[in-house]
């Protein structure tokens, strides 16, 4: 499908010494790890390929132990098989745990790529597990640097393993002394370029929750009495019962050590560049990210689309015209747009949420669309449809979807309205679009601003009656943040980090070339200039 994905979702939970929190599990602090599967369920939108946790328990022979499996959270933790679920929870019980849900922008789909990653060691502070969300833009450079060192070998071509080796290297610098984890992660922040929210847990019971200096991906935390928790999105914490949920500052880490919680800065303050896609596409609509509501942002996008529709005056807004969202992320924008225009917003497309990913990917494009979406002929027949899509990236299934709306749904006209500006450049910070050639808009656009003629050509290609995108300026306005505080690299071709700029130039050079592969992979074989 054309859906975008990124790596991934992370969570952490810790019950500090003392009386059990009212938010904790009924079995007591030693079973706080049970909360992890609940948290990961609320982060399932961020990854459905694999799920796992690593827990610490000083009363267990395996002080640190990791469980992970391929599949959704329900599948991985056997939530629909009570006896097996209880067995997993008992074996991995502990007062502290970190967790992860994965979608792979790179790497294989087998269990060895699932997170958390654990590194065993006889020394307790060198025995650790970690999970991360994002993508290191300078992955190729870091990987090559490792491989030039004596006897280093990497078994996976992914940045998770690179991070593990750099973590191990930093910890080894302390010899026989217990490391200062603030200094360890401060040193790593000087090496890493890109998006790397991270949770870390070692066999001493030390926990680290860290957000990268740019704050590309969201990361929230909360504390209630002795219970501390953190997650990629606020909804995972609100649903546990936490009331005061806050965003971790970019370049900041939380250290849980020796029964205390400390906030430490690991990088100098800078203007954050939050990924705008989090609000308009990726995040759970119930979440609040960096004090900005996802739902209200998407509703504001719909209001902007309504203003643009009235200015264009292309489509009659009469009783034959309806607004139809492409489910699910287009619904809030569609509802707000329809309300502003005074016409109905209806569910003319029903999404099947119960199709297994492996099954649907085994079909051809037309079958995938038909399996995933059912047009309602009773709603669409003879209607003029304003189809609200949150974004168009590759367009590989949009044409098939429009054909289905006409042939199976009976729509008379289909006018596509996109609640996002055109995607003209790749992402190097964790979204699975890393080359220019895979994108739809650059095939038609000849400048940084899309013209009406270019949108007309796009509509012709998709076999839509018309197509219009949201203007670039609307993104920051709808989120409620200044444009300087957002990463809009995929909309502008201007990136907030130096490696991002270098990778974009490399992608442009290969746009019309014969070399295939992700830009990260091309960078590994390209000398730096």
pLDDT tens digits, residue range 412-461?
Answer: 999 999 999 999 999 999 887 878 888 999 999 988 889 999 999 999 99
487 occurs within a structural domain: yes
- Among residues 234, 255, 270, the one where a domain terminates is 270
- The reported pLDDT for the residue numbered 397 is 81
- Among residues 270, 304, 321, the one where a domain terminates is 270
429 occurs within a structural domain: yes
Read off the pLDDT of each residue in 29-53 and give the average, rounded to a whole number.
94
Q: What is the DSSP pairing of strand 384-389 with strand 413-418?
A: parallel
Same domain? 241 vs 329: no
- What is the pTM (predicted TM-score) of this model? 0.92
Q: Confirm if 101 and 44 have CB atoms less than 8 A apart.
A: yes
Same domain? 254 vs 332: no
287 occurs within a structural domain: no
- The reported pLDDT for the residue numbered 296 is 98
Q: How much of the chain, in percent, has pLDDT values that exceed 70?
A: 91
Q: Confirm if 316 and 350 have CB atoms less than 8 A apart.
A: no
Same domain? 54 vs 124: yes
351 occurs within a structural domain: yes
Same domain? 265 vs 331: no
What confidence tens digit (pLDDT) does each residue in 364-381 have? 667 777 888 999 999 999
Same domain? 247 vs 326: no
DSSP 62: S
176 occurs within a structural domain: no
Same domain? 261 vs 403: no
- The reported pLDDT for the residue numbered 13 is 98
Total structural domains within the chain? 2
Where do the H-state alpha helices sit in 148-200?
159-172, 181-191
- The reported pLDDT for the residue numbered 4 is 58
Identify the active-site residue in 8, 220, 275, 490.
8
Q: Which of 151-155, 283-287, 295-299, 307-311 has the lowest mean pLDDT?
A: 151-155
User: What's the CA angle centered on 178, arms 176 and 181, to 5 degrees?
Assistant: 135
Confidence class of residue 318 from pLDDT cuts 50, 70 and 90? very high
Q: Tell me the pLDDT of the chain averaged across its residues.
A: 90
Question: Which CATH number goes with the domain that contains 87?
Answer: 3.60.20.10
Read off the pLDDT of each residue in 39-62 and give the average, rounded to a whole number.
95
Same domain? 300 vs 375: yes
**How many contiguous H segments (helices) and E segments (strands) does the chain have?**
19, 23
- The reported pLDDT for the residue numbered 527 is 40
59 occurs within a structural domain: yes
279 occurs within a structural domain: no
Same domain? 262 vs 319: no
Give the span between the Cα atoms of 166 and 169, in whole angstroms.
Answer: 5
Task: Let me know if 8 is a catalytic residue.
Answer: yes
Same domain? 254 vs 364: no
Same domain? 119 vs 26: yes
Give the span between the Cα atoms of 185 and 265, in whole angstroms.
Answer: 10
To which residue do tokens 């005074």 refer? 342
Same domain? 260 vs 127: yes
- Among residues 255, 270, 285, the one where a domain terminates is 270
Same domain? 246 vs 360: no
- The reported pLDDT for the residue numbered 515 is 46
Q: Which of 151-155, 314-318, 386-390 has the lowest mean pLDDT?
A: 151-155
Give the span between the Cα atoms of 517 and 515, in whole angstroms.
Answer: 7
Domain that holds residue 342: 295-524
172 occurs within a structural domain: no
Confidence class of residue 462 from pLDDT cuts 50, 70 and 90? very high
What confidence tens digit (pLDDT) does each residue in 185-209 have? 999 999 999 999 999 999 999 999 9
């Amino acid at each position: 499908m054309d859906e975008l994905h990124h790596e991934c979702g992370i969570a952490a939970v810790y019950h500090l010494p003392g009386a059990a929190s009212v938010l904790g599990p009924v079995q007591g602090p030693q079973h706080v790890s049970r909360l992890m599967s609940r948290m990961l369920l609320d982060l399932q939108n961020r990854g459905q390929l694999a799920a796992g946790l690593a827990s610490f328990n000083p009363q267990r022979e395996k002080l640190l132990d990791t469980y992970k499996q391929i599949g959704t959270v329900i599948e991985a933790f056997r939530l629909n098989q009570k006896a097996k679920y209880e067995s997993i929870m008992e074996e991995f019980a502990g007062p502290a745990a970190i967790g992860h849900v994965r979608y792979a922008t790179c790497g294989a789909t087998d269990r060895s790529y699932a997170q958390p990653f654990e590194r065993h060691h006889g020394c307790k502070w060198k025995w650790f597990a970690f999970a991360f969300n994002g993508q290191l833009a300078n992955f190729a450079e870091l990987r090559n640097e490792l491989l030039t060192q004596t006897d280093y070998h990497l078994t996976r071509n992914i940045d998770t393993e690179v991070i593990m080796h750099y973590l191990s290297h930093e910890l080894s610098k302390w010899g026989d002394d217990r490391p200062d984890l603030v200094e360890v992660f401060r040193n790593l922040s000087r090496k890493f370029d890109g998006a790397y929210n991270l949770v870390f847990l070692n066999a001493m019971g030390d926990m680290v929750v860290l957000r990268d200096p740019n704050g590309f991906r969201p990361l929230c935390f909360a504390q209630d009495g002795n219970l501390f928790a953190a997650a990629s999105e606020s909804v995972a914490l609100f649903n546990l019962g936490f009331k005061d949920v806050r965003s971790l500052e970019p370049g900041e880490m939380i250290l849980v050590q020796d029964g205390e919680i400390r906030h430490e800065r690991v990088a100098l303050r800078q203007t954050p560049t939050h990924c705008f896609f989090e609000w308009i596409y990726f995040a759970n609509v119930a979440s609040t990210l960096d004090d900005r509501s996802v739902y209200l942002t998407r509703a504001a996008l719909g209001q902007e689309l309504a203003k643009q529709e009235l200015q264009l005056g292309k489509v009659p807004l009469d009783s034959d015209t309806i607004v139809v969202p492409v489910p699910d992320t287009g619904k809030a924008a569609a509802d707000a747009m329809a309300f502003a225009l005074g016409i109905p917003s209806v569910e003319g497309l029903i999404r099947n949420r119960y199709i297994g990913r492996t099954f649907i990917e085994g079909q051809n494009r037309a079958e995938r669309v038909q399996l995933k979406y059912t047009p309602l002929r009773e709603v669409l027949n003879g209607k003029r449809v304003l189809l609200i899509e949150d974004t168009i990236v590759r367009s590989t299934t949009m044409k098939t979807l429009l054909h289905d709306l006409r042939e199976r749904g009976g729509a008379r006209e289909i006018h596509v309205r996109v609640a996002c500006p055109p995607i003209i450049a790749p992402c190097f910070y964790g979204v699975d679009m890393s080359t220019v050639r895979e994108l739809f808009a650059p095939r038609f656009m000849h400048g940084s601003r899309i013209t009406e003629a270019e949108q007309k050509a796009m509509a012709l290609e998709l076999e839509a009656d018309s197509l219009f995108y949201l203007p670039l300026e609307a993104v920051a306005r709808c989120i409620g943040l200044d444009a300087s505080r957002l990463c809009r690299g995929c909309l502008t071709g201007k990136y907030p980090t130096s490696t991002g700029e270098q990778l974009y130039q490399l992608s442009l050079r290969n746009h019309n070339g014969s070399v295939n592969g992700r830009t990260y992979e091309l960078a590994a074989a390209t000398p730096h200039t």
